[in-house]
Structure 1
Amino acid sequence: MTTHAPRRAVLLGALAAPLAAPFIANPAKAQTITLRSADVHPDGYPTVEAVKFMSRQIEEKSGGRIRIQVFGSRQLGEEKDTLEQTRFGVIDLNRVNSASLNSLVPETVIPGLPFLFRSEEHMHRVLDGAIGDEMASGLPRHNLIPLAYYDSGARSFYTRAKAINEPGDLRGLKIRVQPSDMWVSMMRAFGANATPLPTGEIYSALQTGVVDGAENNYPSYQSFRHFEVAKFYSVSEHSMAPEMLVMSKRSYDRLPKETQDVLRQAAKDSVPEMRRLWQARSNEAKAAVIAAGSQINTLDKAPFERNMGPVYDQFVRDARMKGIVSRIRETT
């Protein structure tokens, strides 16, 4: 993907000046505020459409004074880059996977832990309550305001050469993971060789054999067209690491209190809409990849789950983290 770096650099350079302020006033209407939001996913993807829904809610509730402009398809860069820009107030809003926050706030590791959530419904009950708030409570110290948890489905393996049915099938395979120590540790516990790569590099890495496989949900597998170069999709559902919508604290603090309240409520209102879109998109994506020739198999999770002890030992070390994990498991 080095061939695309100059294009991204030019784009970011062109945007740097207007984005330096957390919002842009419309000369025709001095009180109008436009907030900029980043996403690596394309138009039509549930997270992108959820932020657009949020924008419509804000415009309506503010009488047209506030809107959100969504830049999808990595227009503003990969998640690592846009997250830094968000922390500095260059970008106002950002949809990132919780794994991108792991190096900043240790508690954000927890929702991505392998086989922690029993189902998506269990995950929703946890994230929508006090536990979800607690796991995100450290973000403001890093100039990020947590606004909402979005679904990222259940992540499963997809590979170039063979299906995965048992832990031994992963031994020695190079599997792309998100740039996160926890994800590297998880793949090692599975017996695979973890290969951290940005999202934009996965397709070519699969195509050329730099990696043997990757792992993600059906919508990402389909929308990034990874099914074209990795035909075997093995349903392991090893993690339900959620997406998070965060806002630059610098941008947030410059808004009046009533505007902050409107923004928070609109983010909250966008969650059920995102989940509705997510379920429909997941079903469509699964049908599309099957029609395109992907081979789907469902593996027995138990042998994989038994190998995850070292991951929990490494990343759930203090009493507070252990307490959060216990409370999640006790949530009915």
Structure 2
Amino acid sequence: MKFRHVLATAIALAISATTVSAAEFNLRLHTLVKSPHPYNDMAAYMKKTLEEKSDGRIAVQIFDSGQLGQDPAVISELAFGTIDMMISTTSNAAEQVPEYGIFTMPYLFSGMDGILDKIGPGTKVQEHFEKIYEDRGLGMRLLALGASGTRNLATTDKPVNTLADLKGMRMRTPPSPMDSETWSALGMLPVTIAWGELYAALQTGVVSAMESSLPGYSGAKLYEVAPYLALTQHTLQINHISISDVTWNKLPEDLQKLVQQTAIEANTLGVQKAIQYDSELVKSLQADHGVKVTHPDTAAFRAKLEPIQAQLAKKVGLSQEYELLTAK
């Protein structure tokens, strides 16, 4: 698997090398998802804005749909500067940044409204994670934290209406201890599977349940193998825009400021697009793809999970992050 990933990355970058522009800085931007998705809208915005406002000094090539590999491998390559930037979910970065696991805690936020005021650029939360990047020597810089929609539950063979419906189901989780602990607390059996392998895992019965943003669910056509969608809205999908330190240090100060500001603007767009997609996608998934949608009583889910949040954060070593995010 590792060799195939390296080979695929090498081929993709070799192809891109034959088409690079005459710009001073040619930046390769990774996303894991297929369109329509806020991450790809954000990437397109960054490409357009950086190329225009730099007067052609910067050129951006977007590699979406995981063309350059899965997120953990891409993060490693950012450290070497072989990939320049990425836009993705924080949960997929939990191997290198375990503290990001706090964002998969259910019902930590009340909704999308005002989310950037809590976690976005200039907040104590973003400053905290900027320092974590630096202290861990990750070889990359956090440009912005944002949110790209609610995350909901989908299953392969039965609808979910109550907590009892979850018991014993094999639940796909990313490599995040918080996810595993959360779904275990609801009586499910967590199985860690990479996003790129999820379709096959659902199709073959390795897992029978998964959770994701609605654009992620739709864009990856997961409704084909998990056609029962429960609108649990248990978490907000928190995303990060990160850049390689190698790349950042090559940029002159004026272009560093431009990249930073463009990432902030892209995050604002991402929130807007996420709200739009969430409202539109439920209708289209039902009408166009026959998805069977249920509306579980989220108050029951909250009542089950909120009392154990602090205990859960302590168990997985995220008490500091929990206190930071819940501070009044």
Whether TM exceeds 0.5 here: the answer is yes
Q: Cα gap change, 1:214/1:17 in structure 2, threshold over 3 Å: closer, same or farther?
A: same
Alignment partner for residue 12 of structure 1, among 9, 13, 16?
A: 9
Distance 1:298 1:45, change over 3 A: same
Q: C-alpha separation between the residues in 2 aligned to 1:167 and 1:305?
A: 11
Question: Structure 2: how far apart are the matches of 1:316 and 1:10?
Answer: 36
Aligned partners of 2:101 and 2:176 also within 8 Å: no
2:316 is aligned to: 315
Whether 1:139 and 2:140 are equivalent positions in the alignment is: no
Cα separation, 2, equivalents of 1:188 and 1:162: 19
Counterpart of 2:89 in structure 1 is 97
CA contact (8 A) 2:148 2:270 kept: no
Q: How many matched pairs?
A: 318
* Equivalent position to 2:144, from 145, 148, 169: 148
The aligned counterpart of 1:192 is 188
CA offsets, 1:160-187, max 9 Å, x none?
A: 1212222221111001111111111111
- In 2, Cα distance between equivalents of 1:322 and 1:207: 36
What is the rounded CA distance, in whole Å, between the counterparts of 2:93 and 2:291 in structure 1? 32
Alignment map for 1:115-264 (pairs within 5 Å): 115-128=107-120, 129-137=122-130, 138-140=132-134, 141-264=137-260
Determine if contact 2:38/2:148 at 8 Å carries over to the other structure. no
Counterparts of 2:29 and 2:181, CA distance in 1:
31
Q: Secondary structure at the match of 2:259?
A: helix
Kindly state the Cα deviation for residue 7 of structure 1 after the two structures are TM-superposed: 6.2
Alpha-carbon spacing, 1:133–1:150, altered in 2? closer, same or farther (3 Å):
closer
**Which amino acid in structure 2 is aligned with residue 303 of structure 1?**
A
* 2:116–2:146 contact (8 Å) kept in structure 1: no
Residue 77 (str. 1) matches residue 74 (str. 2): no
Residue deviations 1:130-174, cap 9 Å, x none?
133234221133112111223231111100121222222111100
Q: Output the aligned Cα RMSD.
A: 2.4
Give the C-alpha shift of residue 72 in structure 1.
Answer: 0.5
Counterpart CA distance in 1 for 2:116 and 2:295 is: 23
Partners in 2 of 1:80 and 1:67 — Cα distance? 25
Q: Give the conservation status (yes or no) of the 8 Å contact 2:102–2:313.
A: no
C-alpha separation in 2, matches of 1:85 and 1:18? 17
In the TM superposition, residue 15 of structure 1 has moved relative to its aligned partner by 4.5
Sort the Cα spacing of 1:47 and 1:305 in 2 relative to 1 into closer, same or farther, 3 A: same
TM-score (norm 2): 0.88
8 A contact 1:102–1:108 mirrored in 2:
yes
Shift in Å at residue 235 of structure 1?
Answer: 1.2
| Offset from partner CA, 1:310-332 (integer Å, 9 cap, x none) | 423313554x33430332xx2xx
User: Tell me, what secondary structure is at the counterpart of 1:204?
Assistant: helix
Q: Deviations over 1:84-111 (max 9, x none)?
A: 1112211000112111233433442333
Contact 2:141 2:245 (C-alpha < 8 Å) held by counterparts:
yes
Q: With the length of structure 1 as denominator, give the TM-score of the two structures.
A: 0.87
Q: Contact 2:101–2:177 at 8 Å: present in 1 too?
A: no
Pair 1:204–1:105, CA change in 2 (3 A): closer
> Residues 78 and 200 of structure 1 are in contact (CA less than 8 Å); yes or no, is this contact kept in structure 2?
yes
Any stretches of 5+ residues in structure 1 without a counterpart?
A: none
